Structure 1
């Protein structure tokens, strides 16, 4: 079921029906990442550069190259910081466009089914902002674990697999269920949702392609929710 949902989502990414939401999602994600890059750089300049400038005048002239080294190290640090923020940025972008993605998937793949209802805009924004903070915290923990040999890469996949799986599945489920019912369903199928989240995390780990994570994850979780709903209904149908 998970692989089928992933295959279906990947096949729809570049379809004509997805074009409008694809451009909106990709454009906003890139703009958010650019803004974060400049924001992080300005923060670094404000916090670290005065200290570096104060240290260099007291050093011998031949150590002037330390400023260049510091700039290179800072650039690498900024790039790593931005890479860690890709996950929360894609999560909050998905909160804005999940309903657009879900609507396209439902119309093209499940035209005979009852269409879902969009999550109210204010509630969707609150949930997305709340999850933004949770993902930042989770990735901060994963960053700390980067210094522990043997668990660093695993930490990235475990943290993002759980958090992204939970986020996208609950959003997809809430188009057809109350928020509490969506959470309960996610708990009933916690293992399946987590494994699906690992697929999303693997997608997220691929440079450039990871900018499409909101589209892929939202579409995949719509398919997964449909499959799990059908699986839950089958026993009742068989008894009837």
Structure 2
């Protein structure tokens, strides 16, 4: 898993990724800016205090709250963006590191958009629920990493796997290797909380899980081959 993370980190800023990187960063920043303005507009519409001083203070606090709220938007936004650019990134990774293997098949556009939006909404909803743990230092971080690690691992691995297999088979493979998928998700979630680095999360996570899926697929093929060999050798 460590080598997959190193390969993904190196490739994220490599020249072949440059065009995808610019598009991904641009869309991520645009969505976050729109999210901030939406949060600010919502706060302004709710704050109508009669006292001018109190109203000004409340708006300043609301602005800070909107900025804080962006922390909860980063993960779902990057997840949604990743779904839109996954095939571009996966194709580069497969062509660069696995040239002798058959390339994956792109997901249909509408299917990709649907999966991205659905996942972003799930992540946003669960992160809002985690706000109840805001005043429990330590516990909130562990809970956040656990929940987002599970969700990110599940989604990114599934998207990478769906390029090579059907949905039922991809789900079965993910469940069989749930521990490495979860650990990979926690790694991505950890990067998602680092300022500026979190903007690169979609590309890094996609490249990382393409590598991880390749390794798991090879391990699974070997396991099935050994099982088949054992069956043939059995009397």
> Please, what TM-score do these two structures have when normalized by structure 2?
0.93
Ranges in structure 1 where 5+ consecutive residues have no aligned partner? 58-63
User: Which of structure 1's runs of 4+ aligned residues deviate more than 4 A?
Assistant: none
Ranges in structure 2 where 5+ consecutive residues have no aligned partner? 230-235
> Please, what TM-score do these two structures have when normalized by structure 1?
0.91
CA apart distance, 1:32: 0.8
CA apart distance, 1:141: 1.8
Contact 2:77 2:120 in 1 (8 A): yes
Q: 1:93 aligns with which of 81, 94, 104?
A: 81
CA apart distance, 1:156: 1.5
Residues of 1 paired with 2:4 and 2:186: CA distance?
Answer: 13
1:189-218 CA distances to partner (integer Å, 9 max, x unpaired)? 111100000100111011011001000000
Residues of 2 paired with 1:142 and 1:212: CA distance?
Answer: 24
Name 2:90's counterpart in structure 1.
102
Alignment: residue pair count: 228
CA apart distance, 1:149: 4.0
Name 1:160's counterpart in structure 2.
148
1:16-60 CA distances to partner (integer Å, 9 max, x unpaired)? 111111111111101111111111111111122x2x2x3x16xxx
Alignment of structure 1 residues 193-208 onto 2, 5 Å: 193-208=181-196
Name 1:4's counterpart in structure 2.
3
Other structure's SS at 1:118 match: coil
Residues of 1 paired with 2:137 and 2:74: CA distance?
Answer: 23
Residues of 2 paired with 1:67 and 1:126: CA distance?
Answer: 41
1:58-110 CA distances to partner (integer Å, 9 max, x unpaired)? xxxxxx3x334323321221011111100000011111100001000000011
Please give the root-mean-square deviation of Cα atoms over the aligned residues, in Å: 1.3
Indicate whether 1:209 and 2:209 are aligned.
Answer: no
